[in-house]
Amino acid sequence: MQLPPNMVAALAAEAAEVLRPAAASPLLLLCEHAGARVPAPWGGLGLPPALLDTHYAYDPGVDGLTRVLSARLEAPAVLARYSRIFLDYNRFPEDWDHIRPDLGGIPVPANLRISAAERTLRRAIAATPLDQAIRPLLPGRRAVVSVHSFTPVMAGDHRAVDIGVLWRQDSGFVRAVLAALHGRAAGLGLRIGDNAPYDWRRVVAYSLQAHALDRGLPCFYLEVNNALFSDPATSETIATLIADVLAAALSALPDAGREPR
């Protein structure tokens, strides 16, 4: 596919939404799978519309959760608006699922046999704008949290986790978050996962590697069971819990005078 430069620029301008860019919080929030949109020139990628409203396309519940956390913590946040089926920002360009050809065995027609030129075009529309939105927000931050959700059942496996903290490098910040979650969640009947339902040490993930670990910033992927977003009251309970835990963990962050790389 070829698009005129003005259309590419217009589509790229809609790739990222930035909340509270001037906020002074030491935390930066990312939400790479917030949106389910596909840029108009690609239609529905050849898929039935119903598939674009499933976990394949985005992480249900995380858009609202990220907005609540940003407001309560007065922290900046960057949300991706395009579907991960179009391009998954949280994968490296060379990863097979950066532009995935199938959804659990269901082919994605528009993602089959993609040329190098189209890969470059999609990155210009859906990846580069996110890099450009995130990088100016990093100076002065002392931790980064990426907000995600997961399905209760995967390939027939019922996941015994409600809220997961996925980390690759141990840090006082991660330990403080896990301790606070364990301390507060028991009374709510919530199950906390330490590198579960995924172990980040065993999987590939781009955004926190590029924007946090490579800068020496403590970070983790927050994973919430998407069944917990099924009603407003439970969603509010989860948002309050996570906001309180993150606020309490601020004391475990590195000294403000220590500059990240």
d(C-alpha 68, C-alpha 248), whole Å: 17
Residue type, 54: T
The verdict on pTM exceeding 0.75 is yes
* DSSP characters over 34-61: ---B--GGGTTTTS-GGGGGSTTTS-TT
The answer to whether residue 258 is domain-embedded is no
Q: What integer is the mean pLDDT of 132-152? A: 97
C-beta separation of 58 from 83 below 8 A: yes
> Token pair for residue 220?
């983790």
The answer to whether residue 149 is domain-embedded is yes
Residue type, 116: A
C-beta separation of 90 from 207 below 8 A: yes
Residue pLDDT, tens place only, 186-228: 899 999 999 999 999 999 899 999 999 999 999 999 999 999 9
The answer to whether residue 261 is domain-embedded is no
> Token pair for residue 166?
């996925």
The CATH number given to whatever domain includes residue 85 is: 3.40.630.40
Q: Is the pLDDT of residue 256 over 70?
A: no
The answer to whether residue 154 is domain-embedded is yes
The answer to whether residue 18 is domain-embedded is yes
> Token pair for residue 252?
């475990």
- Domain hosting 108: range is 5-252
The answer to whether residue 190 is domain-embedded is yes
Mean pLDDT in the chain?
94
> Token pair for residue 32?
């790479």
The answer to whether residue 140 is domain-embedded is yes
The answer to whether residue 76 is domain-embedded is yes
Residue pLDDT, tens place only, 225-246: 999 999 999 999 999 999 999 9
Count structural domains, the chain.
Answer: 1
